[in-house]
Structure 1
Amino acid sequence: MKNWNCFLNIDRNISQHLGVMILLLLFTAAGCSSDEASSEASGGESDQQEQKSPTGQSQINTLTSEEQQEGWVLLFDGKTTDGWRGVYKENFPEKGWKVEDGLLKVVASGGGEAEFGGDIITENQYSDFEFSLEFKLTEGANSGIKYFVKEIYPEPEGSAVGLEYQLIDDSRPDVEGTWTLASVYELYRAENKEVNPIGEFNKARIVAEGDHVEHWLNGKKVVEYTRGSEEFRNLVAESKYSEHENFGEASEGHILLQDHGHEVAFRNIKIREIDSGESQ
């Protein structure tokens, strides 16, 4: 009996050890599952943040150290309208535009061109530059980024005159040819575009060095042309701009964001002036 009790005690000890080991294995497995779930959740959040900005920036309306070294300057800080004013005005419009959640927004007003808040322009003028922003269109929206804009008097009917990077919902039935998204409005049609859906941000980029101009959309060049070339002047002559002498050939000008009566949101608005002769 003594030996048998000994065996029973040993068996009990083994059972206890096995029970502890099983519990440890269960806790370890649960911990791994928790870590994996946490990792997946974290990864999903990271993906969502990445989707928020076509530039890949985790912070909106800021410049990276690399961008600062390259000479980029923010034209919108996400909080104020400093650096902008109404076209043909001394101050920023009192209505029609708003700053909300880090976005500069056109307020929807029925689709009229420059009829509510009106267009806004940079206080400064630029000649050789690289300009970019992110924009989010609403369904059916129309807007635009104009550059080499000059305020001429008497004021022209509608918007101020300048070359235009077209911002528009391409699904509109009245949109085709040179009126489409990222085109040079009225002059050159954007080709080979990759467009994010309405309600998501897209990135527009304009490069102007001398007479050479490029339009980019979401990291892809979609238009390239030369201001003042024979082709350019022929296209101008056949467009609505034919009455404007030397249209699009100013050596410098303002950058304009258009109020066309539809809600459009802008962010990460920035510019880098290019030194004369700098290669792209």
Structure 2
Amino acid sequence: MKQFISLALAVAALLAFTHKAPNRQNDWVPLFDGKTLNNWKVGANASTFAVQDGMLVVNGPTAHLFYDGPVMNHDFKNFEFKADVMTMPGSNSGIYFHTIYQESSWPKKGYEVQVNNSHTDWRRTGSLYGIQDVKDVFVKDNEWYTEYIRVEGKHVTIKINDKTVVDYTEPDGVKRGEGDEQRVISSGTFALQGHDPKSKVYFKNVMVRPLAD
């Protein structure tokens, strides 16, 4: 009888763990497993993205890797996002949010958070690209740092190693210029950018924490 009870408790515990919602609020959920590109989708120039030693390596022609997995059915509105990032000298990349899969070219929907410590583009790491740009360099190439994004309502906070570099609230009814009409707060997925063949950037510990809508 004791053995039966112990077995029943073990099975119950296993089921509870297995069915634990991976996207419930207050949980940090990994989006990248460190081994494969499972749950991610890329169109043109897919060879720009590779997995090596637990890291996502981005190096090659312009391409974008979109999260396409089960967490929140890859449709995030309010959230916290963080990733450990390392750039090589002269490199450029980015993290898009509230975007949608696009086969090629630069994503038209959503915002880009800049990854760039020494590229010729003056908009540096942490910039909410073209909206609230950062000119100062807060981290160095060849060193890991954490890039953090929080979106709640119309409010966007971006931190580099716990230092707030962008604090932006999108105005109600904001209108963007031609071609940037979808560069607004909405909902959508994340995308990592491969900027050009001379750029090499590493990502790991890519995680999200959904927040209440």
Which TM bucket (shorter chain)?
Answer: 0.7 to 0.9
Whether 1:247 and 2:183 are equivalent positions in the alignment is yes
Can you give the 5+ residue segments of structure 2 that lack an aligned partner in the other structure? Answer: 1-23, 69-73
- Deviations 1:214-247 (CA, angstroms, capped at 9, x unpaired): 11111111101122447xx37x44xxxx333352
Contact 1:191/1:222 (8 A) holds in 2: no
Distance 1:69 1:272, change over 3 A: closer
For 2:38, which of 73, 82, 88 is the aligned residue? 82
For 1:148, which of 94, 98, 107 is the aligned residue? 98
Amino acid at match of 2:179: E
For 2:67, which of 115, 122, 144 is the aligned residue? 122
Cα distance in structure 2, aligned partners of 1:191 and 1:141:
16
Contact 1:147/1:253 (8 A) holds in 2: yes
Can you give the 5+ residue segments of structure 1 that lack an aligned partner in the other structure? Answer: 1-67
Say which SS state the counterpart of residue 99 (structure 1) adopts.
strand
Cα distance in structure 1, aligned partners of 2:167 and 2:87:
24
Cα distance in structure 2, aligned partners of 1:275 and 1:190:
29
| Greater share of strand | 2
Cα distance in structure 1, aligned partners of 2:76 and 2:168:
18
* Superposition map of 1:203-242 within 5 A: 203-229=146-172, 233=174, 236-237=176-177, 242=178
**What's the TM-score once normalised by structure 1's chain length?**
0.59
Whether 1:187 and 2:143 are equivalent positions in the alignment is no
Say which SS state the counterpart of residue 95 (structure 1) adopts.
helix
Larger C-alpha radius of gyration, 1 or 2? 1
Whether 1:138 and 2:75 are equivalent positions in the alignment is no
Partner residue in 1 for 2:51:
99
- Deviations 1:182-233 (CA, angstroms, capped at 9, x unpaired): 11111102377632x2101111000001111111111111101122447xx3
Amino acid at match of 1:227: E
Partner residue in 2 for 1:163:
111
Amino acid at match of 1:184: L
Distance 1:139 1:208, change over 3 A: same
Say which SS state the counterpart of residue 106 (structure 2) adopts.
coil
- Deviations 1:134-162 (CA, angstroms, capped at 9, x unpaired): 1100010000001111347xx7x721122
**What's the TM-score once normalised by structure 2's chain length?**
0.76
Say which SS state the counterpart of residue 194 (structure 2) adopts.
coil
Contact 2:155/2:168 (8 A) holds in 1: yes
